[in-house]
Amino acid sequence: MEDRPRVYGWPTSKNGYTIQEVPSGTKRFRKAIVIGAGASGLSFAKFQQERMIDFECVIYEKNDEVSGTWTENRYPGCACDIPSVTYQYPWELKIWSRFYAYAPEILEYFKHVADKHGLRKFIKLQHEVIHAQWDNQSGKWCVKVRNLTDGTEFDDTADVLVNASGIFNYWQWPNIKGRKDFKGIVVHSANYPTDLDLAGKRVAVVGTGASGLQLTAALQPVVSHLYTWIRSGTWITSSFGSTFAGPDGGNFQYSKEQKEKFIHKPDVYLKYIKDVEKSLSDPLAVLKNTPITHYAQEFSLSLMKDKLRDHPDLLEALTPTTFPVGCKRRTPGNGYLEAITQSNVTTYCKASLDELTEEGFIDPNGNKVEIDAIVFATGFNTTWVPRFPIIANGKNLQDIYAENALSYMGVAAPYMPNYFTFYGPYSPIGQSSVLPMMDVFSRWILQMIEKMQIEDIKSLTPKKTVIEDYGEHTKLLIKRFVWDAPCRSWMKAGSIETPPSSYAGTRTQVMELLAQPRFEDFDIEYKNQNRWQWLGNGFSIHDVDGSDNTWFWGTLKESIVAKASSEQKNGF
Ligand SMILES: Cc1cc2nc3c(=O)[nH]c(=O)nc-3n(C[C@H](O)[C@H](O)[C@H](O)COP(=O)(O)OP(=O)(O)OC[C@H]3O[C@@H](n4cnc5c(N)ncnc54)[C@H](O)[C@@H]3O)c2cc1C
Ligand SMILES: NC(=O)c1ccc[n+]([C@@H]2O[C@H](COP(=O)([O-])OP(=O)(O)OC[C@H]3O[C@@H](n4cnc5c(N)ncnc54)[C@H](OP(=O)(O)O)[C@@H]3O)[C@@H](O)[C@H]2O)c1
């Protein structure tokens, strides 16, 4: 076909404009660099492998294994806080050992996914991305990568940069006086050494978030003495998943019979998954002052009252008075309430850890307490400010987000061409299990890239006004949601006053919103000055690839074709 202009003497250029000798629908080569091989990166790897052609995907992962959160969080008791049957990819169902699986089983699951689907070939482990800069002339991201095995650095370039680096990946030490003076063992929940044995030791656990609750429950039975602080209240509840949970909303192991049934009757398993999901995702459960949020609070309070009936001081300190269930992420807190009532536990109520010494800490009464180890379960930097410079059009996303972390629906960022994200600011971070949502992000990003491939687009950048309107809508609507109540949570970057940076709506809504990209929300720059060059030589790819290009008459079924040809043979 390329030869036809010469054969037929057709002109191919005029005033500098040239016809591309390809049919429309041709996919031009594009490359994406992905940061992170956690659950998000693996979802992307799987979908791009199945769907894309003329496409290269390189995933840089700083750790020595895939799975992100579940590789890094190795502390005793680390588990899923939502039912495991909903914390799996819809395309890779597993029969879980427990209702809330522990971290090692979840880690194995993601490793299995990477192996079974052949995703490791896209992933470069122990490679950390340390800088990214958009070059407008070439229309490419130049990404600086550090090889963590030998310390060397190199540049890689790609048309698209996908940030799947996780919202709970930037763990940080709390700002506590004397923290560096303490001479004993100091660990953070997200960087817990696998060989650390605290049996028989005097241990302080700081934090009553999901990590702190799990650590307290797991360490109490083995340490000689445990010290904890309840700085502010938190609702301990599985509430919405409780219909399917064990007694008191607790964990349980699936029986051999249940597992056999799930294996041999996939429909039964699927119905169970869907029922559990439904029980977690009641849209009214995330709004303030609905009957269901009141019910959740009553459920949680009665459970807490029951388990702490002989400990009114703990109950008072732990019961939130200013915010409903869900403002801080719900956690079943399995075993926590039981643990803090044991005789080897000292809990400082309505108090924070403010000062460490060489031997231990200063308690709220000013006494010096000696300990052997301190475990900080004090959370992550959730400010959205990237950990390395991401620069385009003279702007650094670090500066933009330090001032105002507002993205395009959590999947793209202001001023950043061809930059797509999993779970950016104002994405559905509070709406149930994240895994099914990750697939939605993957498909959305791949549709964006396919448009670039077909229409020979150089860059897609979300329009500033679209992002501003999204912010105005979201920040007003979010006031109706439980996350906006006066609690301190990671969703508000640890401050009570900051508005929660979640999508304001249900997961159903955001899934529908992101099913198809809204290209009208983007500034589009084409590779060629003439935006229509991609129409090529006037043919569609379906004219030349053997497709049915008379489809508008309807589609022939094979049997009809066979019947017609046999009738022809028989002389009709
Ligand atoms: C202890 C814990 C328990 C949780 N439990 C639940 C739960 O029960 N249910 C739920 O829905 N969510 C839970 N979460 C949230 C959890 O983070 C998500 O469910 C999910 O695992 C996030 O996957 P991700 O791939 O987006 O991010 P991550 O798992 O954080 O993966 C990001 C990856 O990017 C890599 N990376 C980061 N920066 C760079 C860089 N510069 N260069 C190269 N690589 C980089 C990291 O090493 C990491 O592997 C939990 C979080 C924690 C911390
Ligand atoms: N699957 C799970 O069960 C699971 C487990 C772990 C984590 N996660 C996820 O990861 C998110 C982060 O959880 P996280 O528990 O690691 O962090 P987090 O929710 O941010 O909790 C940090 C805790 O540290 C406390 N804290 C900080 N400084 C303190 C001080 N000086 N003295 C006393 N207390 C102090 C905070 O108190 P305040 O409440 O007063 O701020 C808070 O209770 C969770 O919300 C969840 O989404 C899930």
Domain boundaries of the chain, sorted by first residue: 25-66+119-170+382-526, 179-376
Structural tokens at position 375: 């475990």
Tell whether ligand 1 has an atom less than 6 A from the beta carbon of residue 78: yes
The angle, 0 to 180 degrees and rounded to 10, between the axes of the packed helices 256-264 and 266-280 is: 110
Contact 507, 432 (CB under 8 A): yes
Which residue has a Cα nearest atom 45 of ligand 1?
36
Tell whether ligand 1 has an atom less than 6 A from the beta carbon of residue 211: yes
Q: How far is the CA of 23 from the centre of ligand 2 (A)?
A: 55
Q: Note the pLDDT of residue 572.
A: 46
Which residue has a Cα nearest atom 41 of ligand 1?
129
Ligand 2 atom closest to Cα of residue 189 = 16
Tell whether ligand 1 has an atom less than 6 A from the beta carbon of residue 110: no
Q: Is 26 left (phi over 0), alpha (psi -120 to 50) or beta?
A: beta
Ligand 2 atom closest to Cα of residue 353 = 32
Comparing CA positions, the residue from 44, 282, 10 lying closest to residue 164 is 44
Burial zone of 559 (CB within 10 Å; 0-12 exposed, 13-18 middle, 19+ buried): exposed
Query: Cα dihedral angle (186, 188, 191, 195), rounded to 10 degrees?
Result: 50
Q: Note the pLDDT of residue 493.
A: 81
25-66+119-170+382-526 and 179-376 in the same fold: yes
d(CA 390, CA 398): 7
Q: How far is the CA of 446 from the centre of ligand 1 (A)?
A: 21
Query: Given 3.40.50.1010, 3.50.50.60, 3.40.190.10, 2.70.50.60, which CATH number is that of 179-376?
Result: 3.50.50.60
N- to C-terminal Cα separation, the chain: 38
Ligand 2 atom closest to Cα of residue 331 = 3
Q: How far is the CA of 523 from the centre of ligand 1 (A)?
A: 31
d(CA 77, CA 216): 8
Ligand 2 atom closest to Cα of residue 231 = 40
Q: How far is the CA of 166 from the centre of ligand 1 (A)?
A: 5
Q: Note the pLDDT of residue 158.
A: 98
d(CA 452, CA 160): 10
Q: How far is the CA of 441 from the centre of ligand 2 (A)?
A: 26
Tell whether ligand 2 has an atom less than 6 A from the beta carbon of residue 352: yes
CA distance readout (Å), 355 to 24, 174, 179, 414: 67, 11, 7, 41
**What CATH number was assigned to the domain covering residues 25-66+119-170+382-526?**
3.50.50.60
Ligand 2 atom closest to Cα of residue 332 = 3
Burial zone of 229 (CB within 10 Å; 0-12 exposed, 13-18 middle, 19+ buried): buried
Comparing CA positions, the residue from 485, 533, 446, 361 lying closest to residue 52 is 446
Comparing CA positions, the residue from 209, 241, 235, 213 lying closest to residue 297 is 235
Tell whether ligand 2 has an atom less than 6 A from the beta carbon of residue 375: no
Residue 547's Cα: distance from chain center in Å?
39
Ligand 1 atom closest to Cα of residue 60 = 43
Which residue has a Cα nearest atom 20 of ligand 2?
379
pTM over 0.85: yes
CA distance readout (Å), 265 to 3, 96, 274: 58, 15, 14
Comparing CA positions, the residue from 378, 350, 373, 390 lying closest to residue 142 is 390
Q: Note the pLDDT of residue 108.
A: 98
Burial zone of 186 (CB within 10 Å; 0-12 exposed, 13-18 middle, 19+ buried): middle
Contact 521, 452 (CB under 8 A): no
Which residue has a Cα nearest atom 16 of ligand 1?
69
Q: How far is the CA of 92 from the centre of ligand 1 (A)?
A: 19
Comparing CA positions, the residue from 437, 571, 565, 457 lying closest to residue 507 is 437
For ligand 2, pick from 189, 208, 230 the residue to mutate: most ligand atoms within 8 Å of CB: 208
Which residue has a Cα nearest atom 2 of ligand 2?
81
Q: Residue 490 phi/psi, 5° resolution?
A: -60, -25
d(CA 489, CA 483): 9
Q: Residue 508 phi/psi, 5° resolution?
A: -60, -45
Q: pLDDT truncated to tens, each residue of the chain (572 aa)?
A: 678 888 999 988 988 899 999 999 999 999 999 999 999 999 999 999 999 999 999 999 999 999 999 999 999 999 998 899 999 999 999 999 999 999 999 999 999 999 999 999 999 999 999 999 999 999 999 999 999 999 999 999 999 999 999 999 999 999 999 999 999 999 999 999 989 999 999 999 999 999 999 999 999 999 999 999 999 999 988 655 567 888 777 889 999 999 999 999 999 999 999 999 988 877 777 899 999 888 889 989 998 999 999 999 999 999 999 999 989 888 878 899 999 999 999 999 999 999 999 999 999 999 999 999 999 999 999 999 999 999 999 999 999 999 999 999 999 999 999 999 999 999 998 887 899 999 999 999 999 999 999 999 999 999 999 999 999 999 999 999 999 999 998 888 878 888 899 999 999 999 999 999 999 999 999 999 999 999 999 999 999 999 998 999 998 876 565 665 555 555 44
Four-residue CA torsion sign, 197, 198, 204, 207:
positive
Tell whether ligand 1 has an atom less than 6 A from the beta carbon of residue 299: no
Bridge partners (DSSP) of residue 142 are 133, 157
| CA of 230, nearest ligand number | 2
d(CA 519, CA 523): 8
For ligand 1, pick from 153, 169, 331 the residue to mutate: most ligand atoms within 8 Å of CB: 169
How is residue 404 annotated by DSSP? -
Q: How far is the CA of 99 from the centre of ligand 2 (A)?
A: 22
Q: How far is the CA of 104 from the centre of ligand 1 (A)?
A: 14
User: What does the buried/exposed string (b/e) look like for 426-446 if buried means 16 or more CB atoms within 10 Å of the residue's CB?
Assistant: bbbbbbbbbbbbbbbbbbbbb
3-state secondary structure of 23: strand
Maximum pairwise Cα distance, the chain: 106
Residue 419's Cα: distance from chain center in Å?
16
Tell whether ligand 1 has an atom less than 6 A from the beta carbon of residue 334: no
C-alpha count within 13 angstroms, C-beta hemisphere, residue 332: 29
Tell whether ligand 2 has an atom less than 6 A from the beta carbon of residue 70: no
Comparing CA positions, the residue from 70, 113, 107, 118 lying closest to residue 90 is 113
Q: How far is the CA of 452 from the centre of ligand 1 (A)?
A: 29
SS3 string, 363-388, reads CCCCCEEECCEEEECCCECCCCCCCC
For ligand 2, pick from 106, 173, 378, 492 the residue to mutate: most ligand atoms within 8 Å of CB: 378
Q: How far is the CA of 532 from the centre of ligand 1 (A)?
A: 41
Please, which residues have CB within 8 angstroms of residue 415's CB and are 6 or more apart in sequence?
392, 393, 395, 397, 400, 461, 464
Ligand 1 atom closest to Cα of residue 128 = 42
Contact 163, 419 (CB under 8 A): yes
d(CA 25, CA 43): 26
Please, which residues have CB within 8 angstroms of residue 527's CB and are 6 or more apart in sequence?
139, 456, 457, 458, 533
